[in-house]
């Protein structure tokens, strides 16, 4: 399902099930001071293709910068944000 802006969104029950699956996951990608480089985006794309559901750690300076980074990732990689807690986000993109 998609919202008005074309972003992928999940139903409430789907989010709940995905959050439960993601609970045991460790972050597969850590975004640091250099931010969203092409290499980081490529690694995120590979991880989403391989696993569908991934957990990432966003270690940018401010909370707003972290939120913006997750929004950019979701938009550019056509993923849905399942949850964000602190500096950790869970992303989902179904395999093609």
What integer pLDDT is reported at residue 48 of this predicted model? 97
Class of residue 15 by CB neighbours under 10 A (exposed 0-12, middle 13-18, buried 19+): middle
pTM of the shown model = 0.91
Mean pLDDT, residues 16-31: 96
96 pLDDT above the threshold of 80: no
pLDDT tens track for 39-93: 999 999 999 999 999 999 999 988 899 999 999 999 999 999 999 999 999 999 9
| Assigned fold of 12-92 | Translation Initiation Factor IF3 (3.30.110)
CB 81 within 8 A of CB 10: no
Q: Which long-range contacts (CB under 8 A, 24 or more apart) does 59-67 make?
A: 59/30, 59/31, 59/32, 59/33, 59/87, 60/31, 60/32, 60/33, 60/35, 61/33, 65/35
Mean pLDDT, residues 17-44: 95
């Amino acid at each position: 399902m998609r919202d008005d802006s074309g972003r992928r969104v999940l139903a409430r029950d789907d989010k709940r099930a995905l959050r439960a699956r993601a609970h045991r996951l460790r972050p597969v990608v850590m975004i640091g001071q250099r931010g969203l480089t092409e290499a980081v985006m490529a690694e995120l794309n590979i991880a989403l293709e391989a696993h569908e559901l991934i957990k990432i750690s966003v270690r940018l300076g401010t909370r707003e910068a972290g939120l913006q980074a997750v929004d950019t990732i979701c938009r550019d990689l056509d993923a849905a944000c399942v949850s964000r807690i602190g500096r950790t986000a869970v992303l989902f993109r179904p395999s093609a």
